[in-house]
Chains A and B, each alone.
Chain A
Amino acid sequence: MSNTLLKMFTATGIGLAMSWQATAASIHGTLSFDKRAPYGALVFVPSSSQGSQRVEIDQVDKTFTTAIAVNAPGKAVVFKNSDNMDHNVYANDIRNNARFDVGLMSPGGTREVEASWQDDALIRIGCKIHPKMRAYIANINSEHFSVIEMDKTEQTYRFTLNDVPSNTRAIKVLIPGYDDLELHLDSQIAAPIDITKKSKRRGQITLTTEGLK
């Protein structure tokens, strides 16, 4: 139940942090997959100013409570264990310079990790004891983002980024296991763009915008 609620939240949830710019633009997108949809996606407007998101990820019923967490670069990430058994949290993503291991976490435990890894990348975290457990954390400089959790039943997902600066030129799309996408809003806006995994097409993304200058 709480899981469904969580999904509803994140599916419609958007980066609510308000920007100081006088903004009126919004970006709408549809992601559709040819086969089974992936784990989820993170869509964001890259920005030079830092967001303020602070990530806290808990562990309950042998699952991480957040599927894809968005962290502001430089902020530490907090891990908790509210489960009734021992867990661990680790990452071993050498390409993105993310290697940490909090050791054994007993029920009630809390650990803080310096999130000093590569920006704009989805870092997979896991539990060494329970290989089924996974979640992703991305360090991004952005005030406008949307996390889309996906599941096996749907192949099409929509998102909206509201109140983006009217001079926004690009958005990025990160999907675990897929090739990163950077979409330039001026040139690519009309036609659908391929979403690829190891360079093979796996779906398409279509964008519409309002109020962009």
Chain B
Amino acid sequence: MNAVFRLIGTTVAIALCLATMVSYAGSYPLPDATDIEYPDDEAPSQRQIELGKALFFDPRLSENNNRPCSSCHNPDLGFGDGLKLSEGANGAPLDRHTPSLYNLAWGSAFMWDGRAMSLEEQVMMPIVAKKEMNLQALEMRNRLIEVPFYRREFIAVFGDPVLSKDSVASALAAYVRSLQVTDTPFDRYIKGDKHALSAEAKRGFELFKGKANCTKCHDGAHFTDDSFRSLGIDGDDPGRGAVIGDASLNHTFKTPGLRNVSLSAPYMHDGSLESLEAVIRFYNEGGGPAKHKDKLVTKLQLSNSEIADLVAFLGSLTQLEAHARPAQP
């Protein structure tokens, strides 16, 4: 009797399992806020994020009061600026393309060559860089301390009346960490909404994991393993090799995450590819011509419709949102 009940129980359980499995459209890791490793082991306050946001959009952080972070990392252009290479402080183009800033909260190395080990370290680099904002830390402090809003907020958030550069870095990093893309059609699809993706995008997802081999590098919830690779793009930029002092990594660059990638054309460390379709065609040809190309980059034999499917899939990783610019304090 008991055994019969157990049998029925098991059958029901199996049936339920099957039912839930079917209702899931696919299985793939999604962003998990609890995976973020914050420097203080806990998320910053909303007030700290807002302070960082004010700084991010404030031109006072640049020598000539005309180059806020947001002038290169424009929220309306996926936190890039739509240019192959941004214009530097002296009018000359920068050496590398301006990347977007999404989901760096989960990142492990920053800049195309990974030379910054934390966002706190990274965010001060453009401020003091001669070619970028060109403002020395002391001058930055002198400017900010004039502003009642900053005096009040640095005390409230950090208990810091002197506006130290560590506090500025901490606020900016908190804002950058808050730029998270977690609710896209793709996320809804994986969570069970079978209709969230078009047929093209579904096929593109299968190609991305399969025939096109993209997940060898663009894997996990943010579609990157942060690995340093060469796609065979020609140029004399040593990339990672110069940072780590290892010639075998010359001309390698960080694999970027792909969430919201459709918003931030053009692409690659040199901004050389103008659209997502151009990127897929580039991979389809087996990458660039340079000798240092990674052996994982090979010709793919994708048809035109498969190329379109992959572009549709990358498009499904998009979370559109309006970013209101804060008023300058």
Contact = CB atoms under 8 A, between A and B. Distances in A.
Are the chains A and B members of one assembly? yes
Interface of A: 33, 35-36, 38, 62, 85-86, 101, 103-104, 128-132, 152-153, 202
Contact of B246 (A33, A62, A128, A153): A128
B226 interface: yes
Nearest to A152: B34
Nearest to A92: B244
Interface stretch (B35-43, B84-92, B165-173, B189-197): B35-43
Give the 3 A-B CB pairs with smallest separation, nearest first: A35-B41, A131-B109, A36-B41
Contact of B228 (A103, A128, A202): A128
Contacts, number: 43
B114 interface: yes
Contacts of A62: 219, 225
B108 A132 contact: yes
B interface: dominant SS: loop
17 contacts: A35-B41, A35-B42, A36-B37, A36-B41, A38-B41, A62-B219, A85-B216, A101-B246, A103-B248, A128-B246, A129-B249, A129-B252, A131-B114, A131-B227, A131-B228, A132-B225, A202-B41
Contacts of A128: 228, 240, 244, 246, 249
B40 A35 contact: yes
Given A131-B109, A131-B114, A202-B41, A104 B225 contact: no
Contacts of A129: 227-229, 249, 252
Point out which of A101, A103, A128, A153 has the most chain B C-beta atoms below 10 A from its C-beta: A128
A130 B294 CA distance: 14
Contacts of B108: 131-132
B158 to A, nearest CB: 14
B114 to A, nearest CB: 6
